[in-house]
Chain A
Amino acid sequence: MTALEAVATYLPEQRVSIEDLAARLGLRPIQVKLFRRFLGLSQIRLDPEGTLLDLLLAGAAGLDALHGREHQVRYVLYARTMPVVVPYPLNPLHELCRALGLDRAIAFTVTHHACATSLLAVDIAGRLLAADGEPDALALVLTGEKTFTRDAQLVPGTSIFGEGAAACLVSADGPRDRLLSYATSTRGEFDGRLEDLPELAARYEQEYPDSLAQVLLAAVAQAGLPLDEISLILPHNVNVVSWQRLSRKIGFPVDRVLLDNVPVTGHAFCADSFMNYATAMDRGLLRPGDRYLFAAAGMGATFSAMVFEH
């Protein structure tokens, strides 16, 4: 059974308030107020001088469980929201493998589930390792993206993206945190730049709550659990109000949805669930045996949820 052996996260030091981002993003004062007052976003983290490779390396740097076990890493999966992040033939993923001594690993990028891609990458990593049948083999899942264009920094009226990274060591089996289920639903009819397609955007907004609720409940059901046995939801940090509505919709206490990072980091692409996991660990919110949900929605659109047992 797929297991998360270790998770490490990184946030750049520079904090930028959403007011300071307004000019770059073309936000009117009332839109800034909307983000802060209703959507719960206050600031993001940025490293304007740092490269994507710097960001990913910083994410992996805290992964102590990797040190001395580099030769066990068979797969390196870079899970990302944006389909293209550097011009060809640059490939920071392969540079990262060389820098970390992961020379025995097959490295590739996983995408097209947008901000839900990190869950897909964990699932793929676990299945690849299980198929290989080598008990000591590991996979490294990396997340983290640069806010390099306006589209990579803003979903109008919904969310603001920030920079951050996470690295996760996955094994085919292990005592903690064991993957109990994975539910995902891709709704290709919502593909498109919603800012330019108001009718599509309206339909997406209308169907988003039900679509995400369905995968959350499907993942919990696949794990053979009632919803009230879920200790915590570790969400994507799209905004606060949409999670408040969703938790009410499925009858889950909103105080057990970890939303504390939304005002601190904004939406860090695919890294959110891992960052929220790290926060939950730091605060002692997960006890041995607790079951919790990773949950994410990606534009385009994919809705995904995973149940783990800590």
Chain B
Amino acid sequence: MEEGTVTAQLDTVLRRRVFDSIGVLLPKVLSRETGTVSDSTQLMSDLGLRSATMLELLLELEEDLEVQIDVEDIDQGDMNTVGDLANFVAGHATTDD
């Protein structure tokens, strides 16, 4: 198996974990139930997240997934939907060890 294939597979696995974790953590960050979310759920307009709560969510994800997320490159486009955020985190996460 080529190295690139392995990496792509790992990213997909991590992305799935990130997506699942977002669904679990959103009610905690927002202090209310959010129902089921999908890739296309809008974080701001549908769920009411703001910059600060978005960053809180990233901190919770770091703890839950035991990763560090590099936020220096994060832009508005990475925070539009649950899917956008899952893509960003999967692409900018490094393991703690």
What is the interface of chain A, defined by CB distance below 8 A to chain B? 30-31, 33-34, 37-39, 156-158, 198, 201-202, 205-206, 209, 241, 244-245, 248-249
Q: Provided the pairs A30-B60, A34-B59, A37-B59 are in contact, do residues A158 and B52 lie with their beta carbons within 8 angstroms?
A: yes
- Ordered by A's residue number, 28 sampled pairs between the chains whose C-beta atoms are within 8 Å are A30-B56, A30-B59, A31-B56, A33-B59, A34-B55, A38-B58, A38-B59, A156-B52, A157-B51, A157-B52, A157-B53, A157-B55, A157-B56, A158-B51, A198-B48, A198-B50, A201-B50, A202-B44, A202-B50, A205-B50, A206-B44, A241-B71, A241-B74, A245-B75, A245-B76, A248-B73, A248-B75, A249-B75
> Please, which residues of chain A bring their CB within 8 A of the CB of B74?
241, 245
> Please, which residues of chain B bring their CB within 8 A of the CB of A244?
72
Nearest A-chain residue to B45, judged by Cβ: A202
Nearest A-chain residue to B52, judged by Cβ: A157
Interface band, chain B: 10 to 19
Assembly CA distance A209 to B51 (angstroms): 12
Nearest A-chain residue to B51, judged by Cβ: A205
Q: Provided the pairs A209-B76, A245-B75 are in contact, do residues A34 and B56 lie with their beta carbons within 8 angstroms?
A: yes
Q: Provided the pairs A209-B76, A241-B71 are in contact, do residues A157 and B59 lie with their beta carbons within 8 angstroms?
A: no
Nearest B-chain residue to A204, judged by Cβ: B50
> Please, which residues of chain A bring their CB within 8 A of the CB of B59?
30, 33-34, 37-38
Assembly CA distance A38 to B68 (angstroms): 11
> Please, which residues of chain A bring their CB within 8 A of the CB of B44?
202, 206
Assembly CA distance A157 to B29 (angstroms): 13
Nearest B-chain residue to A29, judged by Cβ: B59
> Please, which residues of chain B bring their CB within 8 A of the CB of A39?
55
Nearest A-chain residue to B62, judged by Cβ: A37
> Please, which residues of chain B bring their CB within 8 A of the CB of A245?
74-76
Assembly CA distance A248 to B73 (angstroms): 9
> Please, which residues of chain A bring their CB within 8 A of the CB of B71?
38, 241
Q: Which 7 A-B pairs have the closest CB atoms?
A: A157-B52, A38-B55, A34-B55, A205-B51, A38-B71, A244-B72, A30-B56
